[in-house]
Amino acid sequence: MVTPTEDYYSDHDGGKFAPIEATTVATWKARSFLENLAVDADGAVFVTVYSHNRVDRYDPAPGVTTTFAEVPAPPMGLAFDAGGVLWMTGGTLYEGPGFIWRVERTGAVRQWCELSGRHLHERLHDASQWANAFGLREFLPAISSRSIWANRAAGTCGFRGSDSGPSCPNIRGRTGSKSTRAGRGSASQDAD
Amino acid sequence: MDQRLRTQISVRVPIQRDGSPGAIEIAQRVFCRRLRIRNVRFALQSPRIPNTLWFGSSPQVLRTTLAGPEQGMIGITACAFGRAPGDEKALYVTTDGGFLIPHESGVQNAKLVRMEVGESGRPLLQEV
C-alpha cells in the first residue's frame, strides 16, 4: 500500500527544493530496517539494524561496513558518552520490555537495565489509555555523567493503565551480567 | 481520546556510583499528534515525511528540501553529522528503503547515505 505524503502532512509544503549530492556509502538488503545512527569520536558511523538485532559500523576511511555488535532484541536509539562507551536502547515494538545496553569499544554488549512495560504502566497511574509497551525508542542525545535519558513512545489503542498508583522501583539493573556475544567481525555490507 | 494522539515519554535513569542503574524517573510525558520530527540534529532536521522529503532548517526557520525519492532518499529514519577530520560537514542519513511506509517504487534497499551539507553539526546537549 502506498500512502501519499500529503495524506499524512497536508500542512507541509516542503519548502524550497534544493537537492544536493547524496552518496550511498553502504546498503542493506530490502526490508532491513535501519533505525538510528551515531558517530564516534574517530568518525566511524554506527547504525542500529533493528530487523537483524545488531549494530553495524561504517568506517569512512576505507569505506567498509562490518558487524560491530549483536544484541538479544531489536536495537533502536544509540549515543556515545564522553568516554567512548556506546549506549543503546532497544526492544520489540509494541512488546515489552525495553532495554538499555552498554557496548564497550570492543563490541562487548552488556545489558545495563530492563524497563518493564507493566511497571511503567503502574507508574503512569493517571494515564488514560496505553498501547502495549513500546520498546525504548530513542535516546535523546543526552548522556551526562550521572544519568541516561531516553524516550519511550506508545500508541493509543491499548489497555488502561493501573490505577494502583506509583509502584516500587520499576527497573531491574544488571551490572556485569547477561553479556552477549559481540565484536567486530564479518563484513556486512548487505544484511543477511 | 483522539486516536491519532501518541504518548511520548522521556525517562531518566540515574547512573549510580558503582555504574549500576538507579530507579527510573519519568522526566516528561506528553500527548501529541503523529510524530513529525523523526530525528533532529542541529543545523538540520529530518521530519518524518513518509518516503520522501528531507528538510534543512536555518535559524530563521526556513525549510529546504535537500533530497527526495529521486535522490534515493526513501524512508529516512535518522541523521548525524560526521566527526572525522574533514568529515565534519558531511551529514550521514539512514533510510529503510520504504520498508515501513512503502514508496510507489516499491521497497528498496536500506541505505547509509552521505551528504555534503556545507556546515558542521553541533551537539544538541552537552550536559544534563
The pLDDT of residue B76 is 84
Asked if residue B8 is part of any domain, the answer here is yes
Spell out which residues of chain B touch residue A29, defining contact as CB-CB under 8 Å.
Answer: 109-110
The number of domains in chain B is 2
Gap between the Cα atoms of A125 and A150, Å rounded: 20
The residue of chain B with its CA nearest to that of A22 is: B115
8 Å CB contact between B8 and A153 = yes
Whether residues B7 and B66 share a domain: the answer is no
Top pLDDT among A96 and B115 is at B115
Mean pLDDT of A10-15: 53
CB proximity list for A168: less than 8 A, separation 6 or greater: none
Which one-letter DSSP state was computed for residue B21? B
Tell if the CB–CB gap between B24 and A147 is shorter than 8 Å.
Answer: no
Spell out which residues of chain A touch residue B68, defining contact as CB-CB under 8 Å.
Answer: 17, 19
Mean pLDDT of A20-38: 92
Spell out which residues of chain A touch residue B81, defining contact as CB-CB under 8 Å.
Answer: 39
Whether residues B23 and B43 share a domain: the answer is no
pTM as predicted = 0.71
State percent of chain B over pLDDT 90: 8
Tell if the CB–CB gap between B63 and A16 is shorter than 8 Å.
Answer: yes
Whether residues B7 and B70 share a domain: the answer is no
Nearest by CB: B5 against A65, A156, A173: A156
Whether residues B15 and B41 share a domain: the answer is no
- Our separate counts of H helices and E strands in chain B read 0, 9
Whether residues B29 and B39 share a domain: the answer is no
The pLDDT of residue B62 is 56
Tell if the CB–CB gap between B112 and A24 is shorter than 8 Å.
Answer: yes
Minimum mean pLDDT among A55-59, B57-61, B93-97: which range?
B57-61
CATH assignment, A27-117+134-152: 2.120.10.30
Chain A nearest-CA distance from B53, in A, is: 7
Cite the beta strand spans of chain A per DSSP E.
16-17, 22-28, 34-39, 45-49, 54-59, 64-70, 75-80, 86-90, 98-103, 109-115, 136-138, 147-154, 171-173, 179-180
The pLDDT of residue A175 is 31
For residue A180, what pLDDT band results from cuts at 50, 70 and 90?
very low
Asked if residue B81 is part of any domain, the answer here is yes
Tell if the CB–CB gap between A20 and B67 is shorter than 8 Å.
Answer: yes
Predicted-complex ipTM score: 0.76
Beta-strand relationship, A16-17 and B63-67: parallel
Top pLDDT among A42 and A9 is at A42
Tell if the CB–CB gap between B50 and A8 is shorter than 8 Å.
Answer: yes
Asked if residue B123 is part of any domain, the answer here is no
The pLDDT of residue B120 is 77
Whether residues B52 and B29 share a domain: the answer is no
The pLDDT of residue A10 is 46
Cβ pairs A/B, distance under 8 A: 259
For the segment B96-127, what is each residue's pLDDT rounded down to a tens digit? Answer: 998 887 888 889 999 999 988 887 776 555 44
Whether residues B47 and B105 share a domain: the answer is yes
Whether residues B15 and B50 share a domain: the answer is no
Q: Residue B47 is placed in which grid cell?
A: 521530519
The pLDDT of residue A146 is 58
Chain B nearest-CA distance from A2, in A, is: 6
Q: Where are the domains of chain A?
A: 27-117+134-152
Spell out which residues of chain A touch residue B39, defining contact as CB-CB under 8 Å.
Answer: 36, 138
Contacts 24+ apart (CB under 8 A), A172-176: A172/A113, A172/A114, A172/A116, A173/A112, A173/A113, A173/B20, A173/B21, A173/B22, A174/A110, A174/A111, A174/A112, A174/A113, A174/A114, A175/A110, A175/A112, A175/B18, A175/B19, A175/B20, A175/B21, A176/A110
For the segment B78-97, what is each residue's pLDDT rounded down to a tens digit? Answer: 888 898 888 988 889 999 99
For the segment A125-171, what is each residue's pLDDT rounded down to a tens digit? Answer: 333 323 223 344 444 434 455 556 655 543 322 222 222 222 222 23
Average pLDDT, chain A: 66
- Beta partners for residue A55, in sequence order: A48, A69
Domain containing B70 equals 35-116
- Beta partners for residue A148, in sequence order: A143, B13
Return the exposure string of B91-111: e unless at least 16 CB atoms fall within 10 Å of the residue's CB, then b: bbbbbbbbbebbbeeebbbbb
Minimum mean pLDDT among A16-25, A79-88, A171-180: which range?
A171-180
Whether residues B42 and B82 share a domain: the answer is yes
